[in-house]
Chains A and B, each alone.
Chain A
Amino acid sequence: MIWQIDTAMLLLVVVVALASLQVKDLLGAGILFGAYSFMMCVLWTVMGAVDVAFTEATVGAGVSTVLFIAAVFRTSRRTKD
């Protein structure tokens, strides 16, 4: 629980979450969401929750990102906001 790493990671997580909501390309939003999910996994590993981080790494950065990209592939890729 080194507080420097924790604070830096938390601020980075907020930045990536805001970025994935603001880009106008839905494919980029999906990829940024995968990066957000992986950064959450690293945060939980630093806090000591290894089981939760394992699950989030497989589910969030694996299956969830693939589902988003599959859904974007089947619909349109641009968005107005």
Chain B
Amino acid sequence: MTEFLQTGLTAHYNYWIYIILMLIGLWAMMAKVNLIKKIIGMNIFQTAIILFYVSIGAKKGGTIPILEHAPGHGHEYIMDAALYINPLPHVLMLTAIVVSVATLGVALALALKTYREHKTLDEDEILSHLSE
């Protein structure tokens, strides 16, 4: 237990913070009563997962994944795989960000439609309207 905490605090502390962020988003989706706060929680959850994936691709001493020219040659590129950070998670997460904003648009449209029907954004009041 203690060595788990020791290695955790020095090597894996960033994963712990990502997990805390994910759980903040999940808790907001479940426990908050207002619809807009639930939607904010959904977005926090999504960006925390994107942060986790992007941090997998980081490499110590690597540079951004755009090929650089070799010095003095001009036309050739440096193509050593250990010099560039891993570009695969970035590709997947680009799609995830755009899908998350599309989901945000549809979620806000649904919230506005609910407000038009029930004149409130409170989950408890909407449930009491529906059950009567």
Q: What is A's interface to B at a CB cutoff of 8 Å? A: 1, 6-7, 10-11, 13-14, 17-18, 20-21, 26, 29, 33, 36-37, 40, 43-44, 47-52, 55-56, 59-60, 63-64, 67-68, 71-72, 74-76, 79-81
Across the A-B interface, give the 8 residue pairs with the lowest CB-CB distance, nearest first.
A79-B34, A71-B108, A75-B115, A10-B17, A49-B54, A48-B85, A47-B58, A59-B101
CB pair B21–A52 under 8 Å, yes or no, is: no
Name 30 A/B residue pairs within 8 A (Cβ), A-sorted.
A1-B60, A13-B21, A14-B24, A21-B32, A21-B40, A29-B37, A33-B40, A48-B57, A48-B58, A48-B62, A49-B93, A51-B90, A52-B50, A52-B90, A52-B97, A59-B97, A60-B101, A64-B43, A64-B101, A64-B104, A67-B105, A67-B108, A68-B36, A68-B40, A71-B108, A71-B111, A74-B115, A79-B37, A79-B122, A81-B33
Q: Mark B114-128, 1 if CB is under 8 A from A, else 0.
A: 010000111000000
Q: Which DSSP category, helix, strand, loop or mixed, fits chain A's interface?
A: helix
CB pair A47–B54 under 8 Å, yes or no, is: yes
Range class of the B interface residue count: 35 or more
Residue of A nearest to B20 (CB): A14
Count contacts between A and B, CB distance < 8 Å: 118
Could you say which residues of chain B place their CB within 8 Å of the CB of A51?
Answer: 90, 94
